[in-house]
Amino acid sequence: MNLTAQRGDYRLTFAVLTVGVAAYALLQSLVTPVLPTIEKALGTSQTNVTWVLTAYLLSASVFTPVVGRLGDIYGKKRLFVVALAALAIGSLLAALASSLVVMVIARVIQGVGGGVLPLTFGIIRDEFPKEKVPGAVGMVAALASVGAGLGIVLAGPIVDAFSYHWLFWIPLMMISVAGLAAHLLIPESPVRTAGKINWFTAFLLSGWLVALLLAVSQSPTWGWGSFKVISMLVLAAVVAAAWILAESRSSNPLIDMKMMRVRTIWAANLVALLMGIGMYAALGFIPQFLQTPPEAGYGFGASVTQSGLMMLPNTIGMFLAGLAAGRLSARFESKNLLVVGSVLTAIGYFMVAFLHSAEAVIYLAMAVVGIGFGMAFSAVSNVVVAAVAAEQTGAANGMNTNIRTIGGSLGAAFMASTVTASESASGLPTEAGYTHGFVMLAVAVGLGAVAALFIPAIRRDRTIDREKSENLPLAPAAGRTAGGR
- In whole angstroms, give the CA distance from residue 253 to residue 196: 9
Average pLDDT of the residues in 54-68: 82
Residue 209 pLDDT = 83
On whether both 386 and 397 belong to a single domain, the answer is yes
Residue 6 pLDDT = 45
* CATH number assigned to the domain comprising residue 147: 1.20.1250.20
On whether both 165 and 205 belong to a single domain, the answer is no
Asked if residue 203 belongs to a domain, the reply is yes
What are the φ/ψ torsions at residue 480 (nearest 5 degrees)? -95, 150
Close Cβ partners of 444 (under 8 Å, ≥ 6 residues apart): 274, 277, 278, 411
On whether both 83 and 192 belong to a single domain, the answer is yes
Helix (H) or strand (E) holding 147: helix 133-161
Put residue 250 in one of left, alpha, beta given phi > 0 → left and psi -120 to 50 → alpha: beta
On whether both 229 and 304 belong to a single domain, the answer is no
Asked if residue 475 belongs to a domain, the reply is no
- In whole angstroms, give the CA distance from residue 290 to residue 297: 12
Average pLDDT of the residues in 153-165: 86
Asked if residue 368 belongs to a domain, the reply is yes
Asked if residue 477 belongs to a domain, the reply is no
On whether both 360 and 434 belong to a single domain, the answer is yes
On whether both 205 and 193 belong to a single domain, the answer is no
Which comes out higher in pLDDT, residue 339 or 47?
A: 339
pLDDT at 371 over 70: yes
Q: At what angle do helices 431-452 and 359-387 cross, to 10 degrees?
A: 30
Buried b (16+ CB within 10 A) or exposed e, 250-281: eeebbbbeebbebebbebbbbbbbbbbbbbbb
Q: What is the pLDDT of residues 257-294, one digit of tens each?
A: 888 888 888 999 999 999 988 887 787 788 889 988 99
Residue 133 pLDDT = 81
Residues paired with residue 423 on neighbouring β-strands, in sequence order = 429
- In whole angstroms, give the CA distance from residue 389 to residue 398: 14
On whether both 41 and 18 belong to a single domain, the answer is yes
Residue 5 pLDDT = 37
Range of the domain at 377: 3-197+254-469
Q: How many residues does the chain have?
A: 485
Average pLDDT of the residues in 439-464: 80
pLDDT above 70 as % of the chain: 91
On whether both 221 and 283 belong to a single domain, the answer is no
Long-range contacts formed by 431-435: CB under 8 A, 24+ apart: 431/296, 431/297, 431/298, 434/285, 434/289, 434/298, 434/353, 434/356, 435/353, 435/354
Is the distance from CB of 455 to CB of 263 less than 8 angstroms? yes
Residue 190 pLDDT = 76
Q: What is the pLDDT of residues 185-232, one digit of tens each?
A: 888 877 777 667 788 888 898 888 888 888 887 787 788 889 999 999
Is the distance from CB of 386 to CB of 334 less than 8 angstroms? yes
Residue 453 pLDDT = 92
- In whole angstroms, give the CA distance from residue 373 to residue 141: 10
The pLDDT mean for the chain works out to 83
On whether both 304 and 190 belong to a single domain, the answer is yes
User: HSE of 356 in the Cβ direction (CA atoms, 13 Å)?
Assistant: 26
Task: Print the SS3 string covering 308-362.
Answer: HHHCHHHHHHHHHHHHHHHHHHHHHCHHHHHHHHHHHHHHHHHHHHHCCCCHHHH
pLDDT above 90 as % of the chain: 28
Asked if residue 476 belongs to a domain, the reply is no
On whether both 172 and 73 belong to a single domain, the answer is yes
Q: What is the pLDDT of residues 1-35, one digit of tens each?
A: 334 334 567 888 898 998 888 888 888 778 877 87
pLDDT at 329 over 50: yes
- DSSP helix, strand, coil percent of the chain (3-state; round to 5): 80, 0, 20
On whether both 228 and 328 belong to a single domain, the answer is no
Q: How is residue 43 annotated by DSSP?
A: T
Asked if residue 214 belongs to a domain, the reply is yes
Q: What's the predicted TM-score (pTM) here?
A: 0.76
Task: Print the SS3 string covering 113-127.
Answer: HHHHHHHHHHHHHHH
Confidence of residue 88 (pLDDT cuts 50, 70, 90): very high
Asked if residue 483 belongs to a domain, the reply is no
Q: Would you list the DSSP string of 157-194?
A: HHHHHS-TTHHHHHHHHHHHHHHHHHHHHSPPPS----
pLDDT at 173 over 70: yes
Give which of 159, 3, 188 is closest to 82, Cα–Cα: 188
Burial of 151: CB neighbours in 10 Å, binned 0-12, 13-18, 19+: buried
Asked if residue 182 belongs to a domain, the reply is yes
Counted domains in the chain = 2
- In whole angstroms, give the CA distance from residue 308 to residue 148: 12
CA distances from 422 to 278, 299, 348, 428, 461 (A): 21, 16, 24, 9, 53
Burial of 6: CB neighbours in 10 Å, binned 0-12, 13-18, 19+: exposed
Report which residue type is found at 86: A
On whether both 140 and 210 belong to a single domain, the answer is no
